[in-house]
């Protein structure tokens, strides 16, 4: 019986879910990883990168690094949506927050991310109306309840959140809601992966691919990794044994000299993804170049609102003056997001930069590598 079986009872579901954390299974998977891990001819470490913030946190919280063979390095990549949002985009949101009478609706993490000279939290303290929401649909509700006010939802994230934002825009249009718009800074993952596998400083051998994003996009957008770059990738879930199973499958591929994109998260991910969500994205957004913190501009890695929905684009609607972008001196978030620096190698880690006093977004976000290292290592 599987977790998706209609005959499953709460008890059997609980048992199945417990298996994803079962220590005996974890030990068996760790043994398989050790048995399958090859040695490189130059004795260099085998670098696996996870590109999902939820994986980053789960790996740290569950001590998965300590289960790896000595020659395996688990590097964290640009998988935290708040962290990869550029300083310039943060400054744009802050400029919007200063527009008189405007309500900013955003996920909580975004309020504490420092821009060049301010943050949403600082603007809120100075009188801006900044509200924390859990979904773009909450922002729609705020717009309906405040017809005399303009409401802007801050849209950051990958393919997981983009369809929801697309749906919110479609709903606003269908309802004729004139006071709702979006700051659109969504990104897609495959473009960033191409930069990562071409980074000579990093030298990635295989990728632990994101479960949530893959429920939307499926397998096909990753195939270039295997076909063009001969880099194996396994899509996996977020429980400790999901991740260990994904790593074991990667090691088997490396051991056998294969490079394929495999799914270790079949309870959620289908090869073709979610066509309904993809259609919603395509209806409202078109791909555009996007700036990633630490990486720079990646062609085709962002989403911008199509002309047909231009009225819902907050930057076009309000065109606020945006201050000149200044990067934070000393913050190594960019190198952390590229996986070339461990958070504890940043000179400010724990000394100056803490979750209570974050210098960069990697320490702010619950999915940030620096925050995960601070909490669990």
Choice from 152, 346, 365, 367 touching ligand SF4 (CB under 6 A):
346
Q: Are 115 and 91 in contact (CB under 8 A)?
A: yes
Rounded-to-integer distance, Cα 305 and Cα 311, Å: 9
Choice from 87, 353, 365, 367 touching ligand SF4 (CB under 6 A):
353
Q: Does 113 bind ligand SF4 (CB under 6 A)?
A: no
DSSP-assigned states of every residue in 219-271:
SGGGHHHHHHH---EEE--SSHHHHHHHHHHHHHHHHHT---EEES-TTT--T
Strands 180-186 and 206-209 come out as unpaired
Rounded-to-integer distance, Cα 217 and Cα 292, Å: 20
Binding segment toward ligand SF4, per CB under 6 A, in 72-80, 235-243, 256-264, 345-353? 345-353
Q: Does 343 bind ligand SF4 (CB under 6 A)?
A: yes
Q: Does 337 bind ligand SF4 (CB under 6 A)?
A: no
Binding segment toward ligand SF4, per CB under 6 A, in 94-102, 124-132, 214-222, 325-333? 325-333
CB of 80 to ligand SF4, least distance (A): 11
Our CB check for ligand SF4 shows the closer of 299 and 347 to be: 347
Rounded-to-integer distance, Cα 23 and Cα 1, Å: 21
Choice from 29, 97, 348, 372 touching ligand SF4 (CB under 6 A):
348
Three-state DSSP class for residue 329: coil
Dihedral angle sign, alpha carbons of residues 51, 197, 364, 91? negative
Choice from 113, 193, 333, 372 touching ligand SF4 (CB under 6 A):
333
Rounded-to-integer distance, Cα 225 and Cα 215, Å: 18
Q: Tokens standing for 225?
A: 């990794």
**What backbone phi and psi angles, to 5 degrees, belong to 346?**
-75, 130
CB of 362 to ligand SF4, least distance (A): 4
Choice from 153, 363, 367, 372 touching ligand SF4 (CB under 6 A):
363
Closest CA to 96 of 80, 110, 81: 110
Q: Does 118 bind ligand SF4 (CB under 6 A)?
A: no
CB of 148 to ligand SF4, least distance (A): 39
Q: Which helix (H) or strand (E) holds 82?
A: helix 81-84
CB of 163 to ligand SF4, least distance (A): 29
Choice from 84, 225, 331, 372 touching ligand SF4 (CB under 6 A):
331
Q: Which residues bind ligand SF4 (CB under 6 A)?
A: 331-333, 336, 343, 346, 348-349, 353, 359-360, 362-363, 370
């Amino acid at each position: 019986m599987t977790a998706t079986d209609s005959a499953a009872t709460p008890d059997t579901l609980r048992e199945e879910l417990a298996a994803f954390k079962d220590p005996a299974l974890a030990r068996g998977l760790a043994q398989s990883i050790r048995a399958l891990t090859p040695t490189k001819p130059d004795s260099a470490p085998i670098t696996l990168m996870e590109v999902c913030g939820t994986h980053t946190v789960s790996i740290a919280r569950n001590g998965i690094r300590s289960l790896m063979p000595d020659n395996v390095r688990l590097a964290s990549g640009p998988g935290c949506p708040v962290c990869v949002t550029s300083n310039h985009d943060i400054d744009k949101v802050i400029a919007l927050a200063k527009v008189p009478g405007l309500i900013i609706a955003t996920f909580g993490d975004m309020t504490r991310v420092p821009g060049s000279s301010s943050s949403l939290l600082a603007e809120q303290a100075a009188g801006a109306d900044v509200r924390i929401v859990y979904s773009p649909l909450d922002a729609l509700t705020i717009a309906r309840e405040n017809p005399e006010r303009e409401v802007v939802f801050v849209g950051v994230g990958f393919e997981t959140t983009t369809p929801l934002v697309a749906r919110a825009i479609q709903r606003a249009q269908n309802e004729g809601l004139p006071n709702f718009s979006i700051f659109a800074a969504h990104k897609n993952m495959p473009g960033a992966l191409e930069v990562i596998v071409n980074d000579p400083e990093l030298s990635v051998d295989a990728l632990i691919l994101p479960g949530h994003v893959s429920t939307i996009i499926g397998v096909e957008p990753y195939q270039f990794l295997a076909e063009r770059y001969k880099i194996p990738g396994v899509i996996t879930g977020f429980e400790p044994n999901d991740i260990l199973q994904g790593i074991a499958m990667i090691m088997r591929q490396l051991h056998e000299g294969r490079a394929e994109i495999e799914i270790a998260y079949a309870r959620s991910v289908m090869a073709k993804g979610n066509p309904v969500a993809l259609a919603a994205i395509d209806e409202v957004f078109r791909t555009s170049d996007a700036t990633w913190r630490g990486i720079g501009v990646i062609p085709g890695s962002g989403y911008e609102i199509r002309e047909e929905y231009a009225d819902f684009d907050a930057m076009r609607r309000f065109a606020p003056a945006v201050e000149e972008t200044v990067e934070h001196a000393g913050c190594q978030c960019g190198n952390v997001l590229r996986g070339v620096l461990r958070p504890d190698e940043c000179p400010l880690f724990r000394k100056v930069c803490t979750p209570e006093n974050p210098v960069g977004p990697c320490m702010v976000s619950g999915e940030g590598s620096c925050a995960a290292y601070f909490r669990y290592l």
